[in-house]
Structure 1
């Protein structure tokens, strides 16, 4: 993914490796639980295909919504206290949420699993400002693109592994396998957090605001006051909006229009996740230790091209037969074209996000960095939650999956034009 000269020192460094594995295990568990819920809705729950599509889309919103409400608190906690210590406490609580998820899985309760997924979202919202805010504390500016590429790539590889294992647990495993994995990875996440080196208190005299809404508004105002940071926040928000919508639309697309079975859905999700990792690594290689925002612009153009083609490729398609294996689907021209479009879209996403987020980190003041990341997360969450709710509404009104993918592509072309016109200096 990255040149060995860039990746090896980071992955072996005490100032990076524990954080890397902590966020990897966390992302695995988040997506393992989410995928288990998606497969339960798609293949195990007594719902119509239309209801299933809406529930799957809303599952993404349930996980993301806490970012909007709690990122402000997470940012203040991360700036006020040592980020490593906060991470350790947050990840300790995750162990008990994993136990609740096991209870829901044992009883095949969609409602309980939705609750557990929402609580995982709460933990992720509190951990987000730590994960990205601590990187500049432990890494010099020239290593931020590579460190971010590794984090982003590993996040989507975690999505891959969590998706694959979640799909397997849904129809081949059982409560025992599910419990060992969801609780085991929560424990691994906490143990990794214990190894994260102290970062010190960024703002030791900061008073935690009890009014969560007030602290969130204050951080957004601070973000808005800096044109470069606001630009970076909007750009990264578009990436996460597109990402969550694509990941929510992909399983029903493969099942209903391609005719794939559970393994086929997993194969396409795996392809998408690996391709995002490749795109993230490619962005770091092209940057060569610099922040090059032209890469983000180029990624936006490619993202629009592949999203539009995916909509065109599947427009008017009806699966000839259901329950097809990956080998059967990939033997068709449509299956190959969809795979190419998804891989291209994912690679473009990696090129899009890495330079933009590295710029946000580099431009942030040290004593306000975690709160800056928290404000960015709030904006990300607002885009993602609004996007998923809008897509669910459009689906309810009759919008087809190809129409939605084509709409993403057209909208991204507009975003690319705005990026090209407003791009600040990379330095």
Structure 2
């Protein structure tokens, strides 16, 4: 009997490293945000501790933007197994340093470590995404991305939950530091089992000019046949997910009049839903590009976002609500379910797009194109976070952002549907039969630009 993909050596070490790395990143960030906000972690020199929160919230994306252009070149030039080991060992060192920062209760030092961890993620990401192209066959990419996304989002939820739960407790800072170090060590030990894979461009000369290389990589991604649209869709996913992550506390507090436990519950529901969407994508993809599922996913998510917008007045209350009060109302329970389903459908939306980028990118510049995608994802995530300022600065009802989100999702779905109708081969742009070798580019009809 053939071993399932998940348990094979070409996948499980990579998945484990990704999942434990995401857990560590998000636990560090959440523990830092909660610790600073409630005074458990010191930030010297600020009149108000809350002033550090926007810095903590944006430092990860800024670091990704800075280092992704260099990271893409490195991932192209050097052997994959070696890069896995180096990047994950760097994570072990950084988490040990973070543990010291928690021990000495130095918030600014920990913010610096978070910036460095984002740089580590910038280098790990194109290695991992490029390895998918090298380790997996074309018809396995959607399944692989779905499984990776399921692990990623589950780890994010666990990291956020434990980061906020452990830091307030007795000896909480030291416990957070210990958990971070343990998670990074598991990730490093896992990649020791990853197979070797030859570099895509061993003769590439590294250019450390971040600005020119960043522009060059994004231009390269837009020149590559059939790559720009999936990258833009992928980045749209980051925009929506970041927008909702930042919006939820405001939505729960101001639109529903519920407490912080309700916000935590809804945030967890989003993460679980996105993970379920990744699992669904892995199960539904069978020798298909599965881009049709992307269209369905974003269209259905649009309907559910609109539904949540319409149901909000029926779930709100004049008196403050607890999580049990909120869920005790049919409208409140319906909103929670709609959020879980919408997140699942957005998870289903993004996995085929990730696979499409990995399939279509030319082999000799795949990692650099994926790094360009990471830069765009970070930029869209920043834009999603800043979009919430339209709510806070205008004192608008946060539920209006749900309506805006539904309209944007609907526009994307309409574009994908029209694109499918215009392209002769529809969204089935690649022949994903079992004959395709690991990372082998499948045939596309001449003169047809894939979706």
The two structures have a TM-score, normalised by structure 2, of 0.84
CA positional deviation for 1:21: 0.2
CA positional deviation for 1:295: 0.9
In the alignment, which residue of structure 2 is the partner of 1:16? 11
Q: Measure the CA separation in 1 of the matches of 2:115 and 2:317.
A: 34
Q: 2:191 aligns with which of 171, 190, 193?
A: 193
Paired residues for 1:98-113 under 5 Å: 98-106=95-103, 110-113=107-110
In the alignment, which residue of structure 1 is the partner of 2:412? 415
CA positional deviation for 1:52: 9.6
Q: 2:400 aligns with which of 403, 410, 414?
A: 403
In the alignment, which residue of structure 1 is the partner of 2:154? 157
In the alignment, which residue of structure 2 is the partner of 1:356? 353
In the alignment, which residue of structure 2 is the partner of 1:345? 342
CA positional deviation for 1:409: 1.6
Q: 1:262 to 1:110 in 2, by over 3 A?
A: farther
Q: Measure the CA separation in 2 of the matches of 1:101 and 1:29.
A: 11
CA positional deviation for 1:258: 4.5
Query: Aligned residue pairs: how many?
Result: 417
Q: Which runs of 5+ in 2 are unaligned?
A: 43-47, 431-451
Q: Measure the CA separation in 2 of the matches of 1:253 and 1:53.
A: 19
Q: Measure the CA separation in 2 of the matches of 1:221 and 1:263.
A: 44
Q: 1:251 to 1:295 in 2, by over 3 A?
A: same
Any idea what SS the aligned residue of 1:228 has?
A: coil
Note if 1:64 corresponds to 2:61. Answer: yes
Q: 1:303 to 1:116 in 2, by over 3 A?
A: farther
Of Structure 1 and Structure 2, the greater helix share is in 1
In the alignment, which residue of structure 2 is the partner of 1:74? 71
CA positional deviation for 1:167: 2.3
In the alignment, which residue of structure 2 is the partner of 1:181? 179
Q: Measure the CA separation in 2 of the matches of 1:16 and 1:124.
A: 19
Any idea what SS the aligned residue of 2:167 has?
A: helix
Q: Measure the CA separation in 1 of the matches of 2:408 and 2:190.
A: 40
CA positional deviation for 1:76: 0.6
Any idea what SS the aligned residue of 2:227 has?
A: helix
Contact 2:39 2:49 survives alignment (8 Å)? no
Q: Relative contact order (C-alpha < 8 Å, sep 6+): which is higher?
A: 1
Cα deviation digits, residues 355-400 of structure 1 (max 9, x gap): 1111111112222111111111112122112222232354234343
Q: 1:28 aligns with which of 18, 23, 27?
A: 23
CA positional deviation for 1:30: 1.2
Cα deviation digits, residues 54-108 of structure 1 (max 9, x gap): 9766644321222222211111101100122122222222233324433454566
Q: 1:301 aligns with which of 275, 299, 302?
A: 299
Q: Which runs of 4+ in 1 moved over 6 A?
A: 51-55
* Bigger radius of gyration among the two: 2
Paired residues for 1:275-286 under 5 Å: 275-286=273-284
Cα deviation digits, residues 283-331 of structure 1 (max 9, x gap): 2322213102111111111222222333333359456226x3x444322
Contact 2:99 2:178 survives alignment (8 Å)? no
In the alignment, which residue of structure 1 is the partner of 2:118? 121
CA positional deviation for 1:422: 3.1
User: Which deviates more from structure 2 when the two are superposed, residues 35-44 or residues 220-229?
Assistant: 35-44
Q: Measure the CA separation in 1 of the matches of 2:285 and 2:195.
A: 27
Q: 1:140 aligns with which of 128, 137, 142?
A: 137
In the alignment, which residue of structure 2 is the partner of 1:378? 375
Contact 1:27 1:158 survives alignment (8 Å)? yes
The two structures have a TM-score, normalised by structure 1, of 0.88
Note the aligned Cα RMSD (angstroms). Answer: 2.8
Q: 1:369 aligns with which of 366, 370, 378?
A: 366
